[in-house]
């Protein structure tokens, strides 16, 4: 098994070089992260282009086995990967956090390896015969964010490689070491040039997405950056899958059981300390159960320890960076200034060395308050009171984004009827945010387009070709 120090040494910049990376829980120096030049980017793209025909020429079975071997490699280095992820990203080892993320990387690799994608016979009527094949696209650019830096990279890389593409992958500049460490582990099982890491910030990402050699870009990040990538893609008609920001709504119906749903509500909102694209970010609760839901949520939230990630007792961590701390702080202050009621938290220590923002629940908040209408991406949940479900649906749909949503009720059919009217790529019932490697995932409106996971995810990184005759 690979040790943490070995893994870190393999990806960190040499002493005196690179950009210093600090632990978001303590402010301690972790190491320096490398930053690639555009010449290094050119080399990475050239390597991907050179390696692609041989990779595509392998049988699907060979590529499937390679994905399984990559999963084995992740499992061999799981402890070291989780430790680095916890130190650099901030998420605790325990709970649905660092170990969970690394474990999910292996699961996603295996399920992606085993997902069938047979050739489809689309017409066979005695007169016409046509088959639909899914061919490799070529080189796929992978650009990832800092909240789930390993798992989101796997979501993009695993189907791309399975379908015979080679990859150039750029981790977020906020979690470069974690991203590079994962790529180094995966590369233990891949031929040279198949998976090519590049390290850098948005400018390097911008230089990558205009490369004519790329056939496809897989991007997860902000809507603002997604729009820039759409513009950049026009030059070469580069295919895109975009998983952008969300401001997921949850609607609690009058017949929901407040105590029974409280823990799922909590994790729906606070998984990864709220730094999750498809987390519950605004909760609409019917007047008849409003006080009971607030009370039950406070009870669950109070019992969830927040602290340094390497400390086993913690299940919530710091915000990954100071910028995000500032966003959450500004939005909660706006809520407080409006007269909304603080049920829990809301008083951060602004002079600490880390980026801890306390678990915060805000009640009796105006539906138009900035904490409700903007994406907080942190541990602060606004709880809006409603009396007419039509009003709750209208408020949920008023956002210009639509990644996930949830409906909470004791009556599954009633919940499904509401779900059909909510504008979101996924609507969960009595839970929020759970993803599964066989269940397609993607957004509507400005949360992006394209589907990931399962058969649909494999199709997204393929060039469909009809063979007619």
Question: Residue 296 Cβ, how far from ligand ADP at the closest point, in Å?
Answer: 31
Question: Residue 173 Cβ, how far from ligand ADP at the closest point, in Å?
Answer: 5
**92 near 318, Cβ under 8 Å?**
no
Choose between 35 and 206: whose C-beta lies nearer to ligand ADP. 206
Choose between 77 and 321: whose C-beta lies nearer to ligand ADP. 321
Cα–Cα dist 385/398, whole Å:
16
Choose between 94 and 238: whose C-beta lies nearer to ligand ADP. 238
- CA distances to 121, 277, 427, 442 from 399, rounded to whole Å, are 41, 15, 15, 16
Q: Which of 274, 284, 430, 418 is nearest to 360 (CA)?
A: 274
Catalytic hit among 101, 243, 375, 452: 243
Question: Residue 204 Cβ, how far from ligand ADP at the closest point, in Å?
Answer: 7
When computed from its CA atoms, the radius of gyration of the chain, rounded to whole angstroms, is 23
- CA distances to 15, 90, 359 from 332, rounded to whole Å, are 40, 21, 11
Cα–Cα dist 17/416, whole Å:
55
**233 near 198, Cβ under 8 Å?**
no
Helices 202-209 and 38-57 sit at what angle, rounded to 10 degrees?
A: 50
Choose between 2 and 375: whose C-beta lies nearer to ligand ADP. 375
**Interface contacts to ligand ADP, rule CB under 6 A:** 143-146, 170, 172-173, 201-202, 205-206, 209, 221-222, 225, 228-229
CA dihedral 401, 152, 38, 210 (to 10 degrees): -40
Q: In what order do the strands lie in the sheet with 166-170?
A: 195-197, 166-170, 139-143, 214-220, 239-243
Question: Residue 187 Cβ, how far from ligand ADP at the closest point, in Å?
Answer: 19
Choose between 110 and 216: whose C-beta lies nearer to ligand ADP. 216
Choose between 149 and 250: whose C-beta lies nearer to ligand ADP. 149
Choose between 145 and 454: whose C-beta lies nearer to ligand ADP. 145
**287 near 243, Cβ under 8 Å?**
no
Question: Residue 144 Cβ, how far from ligand ADP at the closest point, in Å?
Answer: 6
Q: Which residue is nearest to ligand ADP (CB)?
A: 205
Residue 4 tokens read as 């943490």
Question: Residue 147 Cβ, how far from ligand ADP at the closest point, in Å?
Answer: 7
Cα–Cα dist 232/340, whole Å:
42
Q: Is 105 designated active site?
A: no
Question: Residue 467 Cβ, how far from ligand ADP at the closest point, in Å?
Answer: 35
- CA distances to 64, 156, 410, 442 from 242, rounded to whole Å, are 25, 11, 34, 8
CA dihedral 137, 138, 139, 140 (to 10 degrees): 10
Catalytic hit among 2, 277, 294, 456: 277
Choose between 95 and 221: whose C-beta lies nearer to ligand ADP. 221
Question: Residue 245 Cβ, how far from ligand ADP at the closest point, in Å?
Answer: 7
Choose between 244 and 269: whose C-beta lies nearer to ligand ADP. 244
Q: Is 243 designated active site?
A: yes
Q: Which of 192, 129, 181, 137 is nearest to 159 (CA)?
A: 137
Question: Residue 209 Cβ, how far from ligand ADP at the closest point, in Å?
Answer: 5
Cα–Cα dist 428/272, whole Å:
18
Active site residues: 243, 277
């Amino acid at each position: 098994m690979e040790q943490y120090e070995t893994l870190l040494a393999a990806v960190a910049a040499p002493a005196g070089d690179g950009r210093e990376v600090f632990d978001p829980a303590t402010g301690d120096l972790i190491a320096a992260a490398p930053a690639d030049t555009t010449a290094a980017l050119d080399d990475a793209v050239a390597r991907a282009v050179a390696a692609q025909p041989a990779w595509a020429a392998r049988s699907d079975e060979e590529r499937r086995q390679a994905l399984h071997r990559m999963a084995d490699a992740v499992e061999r280095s799981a402890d070291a990967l989780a430790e680095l992820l916890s130190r650099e990203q901030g998420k605790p080892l325990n709970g649905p956090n660092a170990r969970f993320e690394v474990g999910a990387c292996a699961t996603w690799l295996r399920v992606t390896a085993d997902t069938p994608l047979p050739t489809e016979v689309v017409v066979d009527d005695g007169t016409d015969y046509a088959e639909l094949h899914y061919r490799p696209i070529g080189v796929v650019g992978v650009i990832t964010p800092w909240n789930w830096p390993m798992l989101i990279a796997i979501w993009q890389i695993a189907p791309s490689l399975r379908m015979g593409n080679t990859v150039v992958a750029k981790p977020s500049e906020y979690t470069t070491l974690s991203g590079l460490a994962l790529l180094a582990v995966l590369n233990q099982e891949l031929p040279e040039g198949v998976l090519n890491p590049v390290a850098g910030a948005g400018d390097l990402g911008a230089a990558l997405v205009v490369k004519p050699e790329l056939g496809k870009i897989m991007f997860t990040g902000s809507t603002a950056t997604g729009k820039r990538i759409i513009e950049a893609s026009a030059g070469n008609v580069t295919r895109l899958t975009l998983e952008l920001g969300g401001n997921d709504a949850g609607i609690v119906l009058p017949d929901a059981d407040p105590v029974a749903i409280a823990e799922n509500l909590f994790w729906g909102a606070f998984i990864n300390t709220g730094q999750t694209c498809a987390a519950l970010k605004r909760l609409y609760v019917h007047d008849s159960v409003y006080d009971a839901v607030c009370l039950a949520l406070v009870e669950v939230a109070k019992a969830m320890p927040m602290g340094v990630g390497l400390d086993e007792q913690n299940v919530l961590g710091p915000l990954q960076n100071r910028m995000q701390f500032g966003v959450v702080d500004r939005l909660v202050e706006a809520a407080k200034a409006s007269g909304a009621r603080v049920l829990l938290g809301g008083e951060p220590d602004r002079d600490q060395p880390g980026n801890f923002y306390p678990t915060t629940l805000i009640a009796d908040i105006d539906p138009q308050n900035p904490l409700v209408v903007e994406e907080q991406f942190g541990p602060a949940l606004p709880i809006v009171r409603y009396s007419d479900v039509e009003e709750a649906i209208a408020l949920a749909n008023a956002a210009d984004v639509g990644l996930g949503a949830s409906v909470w009720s004791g009556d599954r059919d009633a919940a499904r009827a509401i779900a059909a009217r909510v504008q979101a790529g996924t609507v969960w019932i009595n839970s929020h945010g759970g993803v599964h490697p066989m269940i397609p995932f993607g957004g509507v409106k400005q949360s992006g387009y394209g589907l990931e996971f399962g058969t649909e995810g494999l199709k997204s990184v393929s060039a469909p070709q009809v063979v007619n005759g």
